[in-house]
Amino acid sequence: MNFSLSDEQSALKDTLIKFIDRDYTFDDRWKIIRSTTGWSTTHWSQLAEIGVTALPIAEADGGLGGNGVDTLVVMEQLGRGLVVEPYLGCCLLPVALLTHGASDIERAGMLERIAGGDLLAAFAHTDAGQRYERVSTGTKASFANGGFTLTGRKVVVLGGDCADHLLVSAQVGEDAGASLFLVDANATGVTRLAYPMQDAQRGADIEFNNAAATLIGTQGGAQPAIDHALDVACAALCAEAIGAMTELHKLTVEYLKTRKQFGRPIGMNQALQHRAVDMLMHVEMSRSMAIDAAMAVSETNAAARAKTISAAKVLVGQACRFVGQNAVQLHGGIGVTHELNVSHYFKRLTMIAATLGDTDWHLARHSDSLLAA
């Protein structure tokens, strides 16, 4: 099988490499995360101009019609640059939800605005008291006076601090399945508590108190779209981890070559060379699994898609821990300081491994898929 990138994908990769190297240096990132918002609207506009916000959207909906491998190309470079702009939370997740869970009329115009970078939407799914469960039962929707209202509390909403609109999963009455609702993030009855996370990404806890909401898709039939969107996000996280681990391994090898003790580079120590090789093996094994996951997002068989993506998330999660911890160890005490970018890569890899299901959760999901088969 040929895993080479197409000409268009190679051109996109080159453009993103130039963007990261020119406009998103470590010093630039420091200024961004220390700002009031914690992310840059200027850099978000640049990403939109490059076309990454339009990439996952179908051409019929005003986008570029990219596939999972196109997303992998983007996320790998965003991971390499530790980009904090909310691409996963405010583009990939809502686009996947709307594409598979909304009618043509419901998503008309909305996806076009997301493609242009003008509209930020976020997926509010995890209820207070939940962890990685994919079925939302804590937030309730009620129908009265010709419209729906939502009551409940969502936690750790990726991009929820800056989103203009929220896509919220909730249960209507005694429905067995979840429904999806569109809510104005600034509407009456919506309260947001925004915060920076461990890795300088941003999230929010959002409380709904009889907030007006618009039903998206079929009542009680949103779970397949939710599962698909979360799988798309997991595949994207795997790709982002590849970019971060590749750069972290590169930094570590450079440090081993230049750091001297007793008059010679510490990289001449064979035991440290073996550590660096083990790191590279984990990166390359993860790359193969990330490619597999990127191709699986278009799989129409939900069980087969879940099996592949959970397998990738398990192996990538294990690699995130191994590569991150060894990079810190090989750098010594300086590896955990804020002044060195190594600690920032380590934090992001740790968060990637825990986001949308940690290694244990996805291992159990993969095992269940094997038993079901």
Per-residue confidence band for 294, with pLDDT thresholds at 50, 70 and 90: very high
Yes or no: is domain 224-372 CATH 1.10.10.10?
no
Bridge-based pairing state of the strands 165-172 and 140-144: parallel
The pLDDT of residue 287 is: 97
- What's the pLDDT tens digit per position in 55-86? 999 999 999 999 999 999 999 999 999 999 99
Q: Tell me the C-alpha distance between 38 and 29, whole Å.
A: 10
- CATH no. for 121-221: 2.40.110.10
User: If you write DSSP's letter for every residue of 190-230 in order, what string do you get?
Assistant: EEEEEEE-TTS-EEEEEEEEEEEEEEESSTT--HHHHHHHH
Bridge partners (DSSP) of residue 121 are 165
Query: Does residue 164 have a pLDDT over 60?
Result: yes
The pLDDT of residue 240 is: 98
The pLDDT of residue 2 is: 66
Residues of CATH 1.20.140.10 domain(s) within the chain?
224-372
Q: Tell me the C-alpha distance between 141 and 240, whole Å.
A: 35
Please answer whether residues 38 and 200 qualify as being in contact, where contact means their C-beta atoms are separated by less than 8 angstroms: yes
Please answer whether residues 70 and 11 qualify as being in contact, where contact means their C-beta atoms are separated by less than 8 angstroms: no
Q: Tell me the C-alpha distance between 231 and 225, whole Å.
A: 10
Residues of CATH 1.10.540.10 domain(s) within the chain?
7-115
Per-residue confidence band for 355, with pLDDT thresholds at 50, 70 and 90: very high
Cα–Cα distance list, 356 to 135, 235, 244, 280 (Å)? 13, 11, 18, 25
Per-residue confidence band for 291, with pLDDT thresholds at 50, 70 and 90: very high
Q: Which of the residue ranges 51-65, 129-143, 200-214, 242-256 would you say has the lowest mean pLDDT? A: 129-143
Query: Does residue 373 have a pLDDT over 80?
Result: no
As a whole number, mean pLDDT of residues 126-151 equals: 92
The pLDDT of residue 267 is: 86
The pLDDT of residue 108 is: 85
| H or E element in which residue 236 lies | helix 223-258
- What's the pLDDT tens digit per position in 235-265? 999 999 999 999 999 999 999 999 988 889 8
Cα–Cα distance list, 205 to 82, 92, 136, 180, 268 (Å)? 23, 20, 15, 18, 49
Residues of CATH 2.40.110.10 domain(s) within the chain?
121-221
Question: Average model confidence (pLDDT) for the chain?
Answer: 95
- What's the pLDDT tens digit per position in 274-290? 999 999 999 999 999 99
Please answer whether residues 155 and 128 qualify as being in contact, where contact means their C-beta atoms are separated by less than 8 angstroms: yes
- CATH no. for 7-115: 1.10.540.10
